């Protein structure tokens, strides 16, 4: 007599599915094990090679102490240093890619094992017990031990992959923020550097003197008509695209332009708009053979130039930095390494005494560099534990000392601009930081869209207030006495009480803002993306003065010098003024 009922044996389809799941699990396990071995081998190989401690580089550096004027030796050191850095960062990227592959392999293995187990699960028979059960218990113990060993191996590999090898991190270039790498040579003496009065009378960097968005001139026009050419002293077509803002010194206006083939620096006559010279920045030692990928809204020439009144400095998306004299002759050029930036490098330059400060925060690591303005060599370099940033540094006088203040996720941090020593840092930012910081009345203000707007007291070095409403995306804040002005890419302008964060007034405009607000003659000048300049009083209530128009769109920040406004539009450089002879 046969027994009827459900069989405890799985169907053929289930057995096939279980076998397939087990096969996938085995393949994923072998793959994950292979990745673990490669990651660990790469770690120890890189550690043994110690690329950042290259004996050849140390030897050449030692020779440079004996031959400080040997330019050929300097170029050899720069080229070798670039190769060393590329080797290091290639190894770092290799381990991080391996980590993601390992995580993926482990995830596939676990899902497959779970699936195979579910397909092979049977209800237990309480009346059945055989010696095979003891064997199965032993097998479970072995599997558990093997699994534990595998987990330990995977965790070790992930720790290695997501942390730099000891002694191999870029901090060997800048040991810690308190001990930046110092050049073996002292920088050129400050003789011949511009006076403070000269700096305030000109527009030497992004957002003017010190990068703090304050113009030290009066008699700025408040009414013009770009389409009708009223109030437009001149406009000049731009040879190549770019989002760098104008920099002005005396009778010279500087801009950059670039595409995937050519990167250039332009010098315009401040009185006539004529192009005095345009120079290609090419054949730079270490420059990449192929340009990096950038987005159209950033391009290859987004960072604004800087000038010390004797030289002009430019940086491009390739990582090329160039110094030219006021006649357009190249003094020096070098490549800092191609920034790993998914939009394109956009942090602008600023000078401090005899140093060019470069905020170089990107996927390959965050750095602040102090370059000798006369030679381009690195005087000091400080590592920054931050994400990619598009913000630019400002230099402030707190009354006790000078500080270079930088923004990047997650930090607002201050450095001694002479030495690169980190003075303080506060973890208060997040996201893809584009706006630069602002300083006023003893407070630093920093904000970013989808993060916060924070006010930091320079007395206590604490966040005294913050808000998550109406945050800037590109436009940098402006601090004026008791007020803080913030413009958003959505078209909202908010005036905060600087001491408390209380909203004093808010105004909605039709177009958004990428340009940063500037204080000039007691008025705030803020241009929207359509080319309309919104002018209002720097006050606790909204008091509009006018909304004159340009003849084209613009996303750049204007320069204010000697009663004139210099504005870069999408296609032209404009000069706006009351008379034709105001530039000095």
Whether the per-residue pLDDT at 506 is higher than 90: the answer is: yes
Q: Which helix (H) or strand (E) holds 396?
A: strand 394-397
149 Cβ contact list (under 8 Å, min separation 6): none
Which two structure tokens, joined as six digits, stand for 155?
Answer: 């965790």
Whether the per-residue pLDDT at 23 is higher than 70: the answer is: yes
Q: What is the pLDDT of residue 177?
A: 35
pLDDT in tens, 315-352: 999 999 999 999 999 999 999 999 999 999 999 999 99
Q: What does the H/E/C string look like for 289-327?
A: CCCCCCCCCCCCCCCCCEECCCEEEEECCCCEEEEEECC
Number of C-beta neighbours around residue 369 at 10 A: 22
Segment among 2-6, 9-13, 167-171, 390-394 with least mean pLDDT: 167-171
Segment among 176-180, 366-370, 435-439, 521-525 with least mean pLDDT: 176-180
228 Cβ contact list (under 8 Å, min separation 6): none
pLDDT band at 75 (very low <50, low <70, confident <90, very high): low
Segment among 15-24, 370-379, 541-550 with least mean pLDDT: 15-24
Q: What is the pLDDT of residue 155?
A: 72
Whether the per-residue pLDDT at 412 is higher than 50: the answer is: yes
pLDDT in tens, 113-148: 777 677 665 545 555 545 555 555 555 655 665 566
Q: Is 52 helix (H, G, I), strand (E, B) or coil?
A: helix
pLDDT, the chain, mean: 84
pLDDT band at 47 (very low <50, low <70, confident <90, very high): low
Q: What is the pLDDT of residue 91?
A: 62
Q: What is the mean pLDDT of residues 12-19?
A: 78
8-state DSSP, 144: H
pTM: 0.70
pLDDT in tens, 421-442: 999 999 999 999 999 999 999 9
pLDDT in tens, 282-324: 999 999 999 999 999 999 999 999 999 999 999 999 999 999 9
8-state DSSP, 147: H
281 Cβ contact list (under 8 Å, min separation 6): 263, 264, 265, 314, 316, 320, 322, 330, 333
457 Cβ contact list (under 8 Å, min separation 6): 442, 443, 464
Among 182-186, 398-402, 495-499, top mean pLDDT goes to 495-499
* Domain covering 191-577 assigned CATH 2.130.10.10 in the classification: yes
Q: What is the mean pLDDT of residues 384-394?
A: 96
Whether the per-residue pLDDT at 215 is higher than 70: the answer is: yes
Q: What is the pLDDT of residue 322?
A: 98
Contact 462, 479 (CB under 8 A): no
Residues 151 and 157: their CA atoms lie apart, in Å, by 10
Residues 61 and 581: their CA atoms lie apart, in Å, by 52
pLDDT band at 176 (very low <50, low <70, confident <90, very high): very low
Residues 428 and 409: their CA atoms lie apart, in Å, by 8
Segment among 53-62, 213-222, 303-312, 374-383 with least mean pLDDT: 53-62
pLDDT band at 170 (very low <50, low <70, confident <90, very high): very low
Phi, psi of 359 (to 5 degrees): -85, 115
Whether the per-residue pLDDT at 190 is higher than 80: the answer is: no
More confident residue, 82 or 361: 361
Whether the per-residue pLDDT at 150 is higher than 70: the answer is: no
Q: What is the pLDDT of residue 188?
A: 46
Residues 573 and 237: their CA atoms lie apart, in Å, by 6
Q: Which helix (H) or strand (E) holds 359?
A: strand 355-359
Residues 372 and 188: their CA atoms lie apart, in Å, by 7
Q: What is the pLDDT of residue 22?
A: 80
8-state DSSP, 189: P
pLDDT in tens, 229-288: 999 999 999 999 999 999 999 999 999 999 999 999 999 999 999 999 999 999 999 999
Structural domain boundaries of the chain?
Answer: 12-121+131-168, 191-577
Whether the per-residue pLDDT at 361 is higher than 80: the answer is: yes
Whether the per-residue pLDDT at 8 is higher than 60: the answer is: no
């Amino acid at each position: 007599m046969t027994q009827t009922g459900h069989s405890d044996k799985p169907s053929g389809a289930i057995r096939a599915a279980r076998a397939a799941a087990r096969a996938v699990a085995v393949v994923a396990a072998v793959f994950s094990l292979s990745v673990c071995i490669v990651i660990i081998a790469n770690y120890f190989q890189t550690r043994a090679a110690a690329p950042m401690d290259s004996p050849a580089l140390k030897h050449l550096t030692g020779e440079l102490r004996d031959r400080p004027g040997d330019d050929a030796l300097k170029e050899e050191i720069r080229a070798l240093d670039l190769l060393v850095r590329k080797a290091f960062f290639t190894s770092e990227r290799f381990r991080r890619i391996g980590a993601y592959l390992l995580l993926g392999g482990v995830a596939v293995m676990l899902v497959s094992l779970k699936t195979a187990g579910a397909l092979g699960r049977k209800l237990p028979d309480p009346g059945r017990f055989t010696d095979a059960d003891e064997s199965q218990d032993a097998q479970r113990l072995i599997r558990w031990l093997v699994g534990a060993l595998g987990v330990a191996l995977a965790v070790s590999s992930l720790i290695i992959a997501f942390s730099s090898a000891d002694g191999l991190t870029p901090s060997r270039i800048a040991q810690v923020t308190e001990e930046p790498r110092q050049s073996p040579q002292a920088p050129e003496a400050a003789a011949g550097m511009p006076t403070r009065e000269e700096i305030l009378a000109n527009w030497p960097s992004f957002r003017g003197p010190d990068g703090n968005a304050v113009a030290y001139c009066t008699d700025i026009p408040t009414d013009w008509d770009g389409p009708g050419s009223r109030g437009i002293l001149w406009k000049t077509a731009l040879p190549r695209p770019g989002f760098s803002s104008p920099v002005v010194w005396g009778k010279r206006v500087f801009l950059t332009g670039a595409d995937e083939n050519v990167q250039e620096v332009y010098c315009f006559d401040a009185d006539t708009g004529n192009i005095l010279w345009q120079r290609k920045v090419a054949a730079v030692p270490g420059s990449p053979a192929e340009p990096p990928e950038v987005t159209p809204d950033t391009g290859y020439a987004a960072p604004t130039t800087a000038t010390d009144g004797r030289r002009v400095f430019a940086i491009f998306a390739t990582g090329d930095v160039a110094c030219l004299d006021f006649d357009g002759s190249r003094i020096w050029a070098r490549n800092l390494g191609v920034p790993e930036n998914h939009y394109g490098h956009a942090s602008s330059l600023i000078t401090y005494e005899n140093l060019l400060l470069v905020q170089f925060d990107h996927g390959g690591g965050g750095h602040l560099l102090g370059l000798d303005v006369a030679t381009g060599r690195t005087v000091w370099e400080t590592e920054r534990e931050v994400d990619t940033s598009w913000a630019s540094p400002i230099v402030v006088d707190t009354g006790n000392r000078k500080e270079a203040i930088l923004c990047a996720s997650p930090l607002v941090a201050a450095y001694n601009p002479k030495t690169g020593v980190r003075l303080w840092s506060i973890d208060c930012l997040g996201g893809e930081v584009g706006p630069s910081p602002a300083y006023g009345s003893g407070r630093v203000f920093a904000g970013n869209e989808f993060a916060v707007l924070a006010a930091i007291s320079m007395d206590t070095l604490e966040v005294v207030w913050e808000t998550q409403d109406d945050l800037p995306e590109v436009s940098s804040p402006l601090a004026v006495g008791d007020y803080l002005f913030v413009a958003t890419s959505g078209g909202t302008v908010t005036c905060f009480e600087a001491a408390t964060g209380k909203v004093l007034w808010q105004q909605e405009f039709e177009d958004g803002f990428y340009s940063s607000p500037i204080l000039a003659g007691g008025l705030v000048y803020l241009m929207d993306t359509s080319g309309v300049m919104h002018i209002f009083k720097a006050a606790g209530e909204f008091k509009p003065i006018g909304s004159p128009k340009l003849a084209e769109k613009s996303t750049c920040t204007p320069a204010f010098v000697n009663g004139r406004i210099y504005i870069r539009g999408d296609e032209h450089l404009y000069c706006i003024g009351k008379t034709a002879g105001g530039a000095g």
